Amino acid sequence: MEQPTSAVGQQSARPTIVLPDDYQEFFTNSPELDRLGEMGEVRHYVRPSRDAEELLERLEEAEVLFCVRERTLLSAELLARLPELKLIALTGSACSHIDVEAATARGIPITTNPIMSVPAVAELAIGLMLAVLRRIPQRDRALRAGEWDQALGNELFGKTLGILGLGNIGRVVAHLGQAFGKRVLAWGPTLTSERAAEAGVRLVSMEELLRQADVVSLHLKVSPTTRGILGRQEIAWMKRSAILVNTARAELTDEQALAEALSAGHIAGAGLDVYLQEPLPATSPLLRLDNVVLSPHVGWITRETTHRFGEGTVQNIANWLRGAPTNVVNPAALRAR
């Protein structure tokens, strides 16, 4: 078994707190880790588990899990093998990697950090729009290769922006888009005209949005109703001059249909931060397309977001330890326990 990189506090009366997946060492030498060490014995792992058994070895004594985003899959089967586990504290807000029903039945509350990564993801969405329209990465590569590429690009200013999902991130993207003089349209499965008006945008049908928008930006959560919501037919509704930006989840799109549309020129370009398989495999057709700007799922990865994630997660753990849990997504677990 790999030894954890740190084990702060050895008093057995204190809870064992496990960080199983800090692969970029966001929390190494951080004040958040020091504060955790004041609460219990901290076991901090900075490389992926080799297999399921090694992961179980890391987790089996944990009373508290401090999980970075969605890296560690917590299935019902795995949870059943963690008899000591009493709290799952997530740095992010998504729970798609956890069997929430199983955790609830076992009396294990799950805490999240809502809106912590909103500024970072919204900024990257705007950055990808600019990068695709002005072909910034392609011009950089050409210049380094000795070429002087001055082909025409496109402006973001004054374009029609269509936002699918006007939640916390979508609202900030709408606000930033309006600073570029953009007309903003929005659609969401539960979005109302009142909420759209509060954000200064116009609620339209998804088809109207896709047909009118020059830039389509995805900010929906993945659910049974949104999975694959941007399929072959929906992509066909988009203008040939339009671009798509996805900083949400790849499961919202038909990735193969998107690659085909980009290759055939049915849409002009895309800026993508999320993929069905991560890391993106070398065989992905997206890597061969010159009208696509790719980033490796870094929408949330900034120093500021990481600091907020750490602070919020540690505070959730501290609140739970003193009997006043916060940001619990499955409150029924508290009653089950």
Residue range 6-10: mean pLDDT, rounded: 37
In this prediction, residue 116 carries a pLDDT of 85
Burial 48-70 (b: 16+ CB within 10 A, else e): ebeeeeebeebbeebbbbbbbbb
**The two three-digit tokens of residue 217, written as one number:** 């930006």
**What backbone phi and psi angles, to 5 degrees, belong to 162?**
-110, 125
Q: Which spans in 214-322 are helix H? A: 232-237, 255-264, 303-321
Beta-ladder partners of 253: 230
**97 an active-site residue?**
no
**What backbone phi and psi angles, to 5 degrees, belong to 15?**
-70, 150
pLDDT, tens digit (0-9, with 9 covering 90-100), for 236-256: 999 999 999 999 999 999 999
For the cut 70, the answer to whether the pLDDT of residue 7 exceeds it is: no
In this prediction, residue 56 carries a pLDDT of 96
**297 an active-site residue?**
yes
> One of 278, 288, 304, 337 is an active-site residue; which one?
278
Helix (H) or strand (E) run with residue 92 in it: none
What is the rounded CA–CA span in Å between residue 267 and residue 262?
A: 6
In this prediction, residue 49 carries a pLDDT of 92
Residue range 55-75: mean pLDDT, rounded: 95
In this prediction, residue 335 carries a pLDDT of 87
For the cut 80, the answer to whether the pLDDT of residue 41 exceeds it is: yes
Domain boundaries, the chain: 7-116+302-336, 118-294
Asked if CATH classification 3.40.50.720 holds for the domain at 7-116+302-336, the reply, yes or no, is: yes
**171 an active-site residue?**
no
Residue in the structure block whose two tokens are 């109207």: 208
pLDDT band at 8 (very low <50, low <70, confident <90, very high): very low
pLDDT band at 4 (very low <50, low <70, confident <90, very high): low
Closest by CA position to 22, among listed 1, 42, 37: 42
Beta-ladder partners of 98: 74
In this prediction, residue 64 carries a pLDDT of 98
> One of 14, 97, 202, 297 is an active-site residue; which one?
297
Helix (H, G, I), strand (E, B) or coil at 50: coil
pLDDT band at 12 (very low <50, low <70, confident <90, very high): very low
Q: Return mean pLDDT, the chain.
A: 93
Asked if CATH classification 3.40.50.720 holds for the domain at 118-294, the reply, yes or no, is: yes
229 Cα distance to chain centroid? 18
> One of 58, 106, 171, 249 is an active-site residue; which one?
249
User: Do the domains 118-294 and 7-116+302-336 match in fold?
Assistant: yes
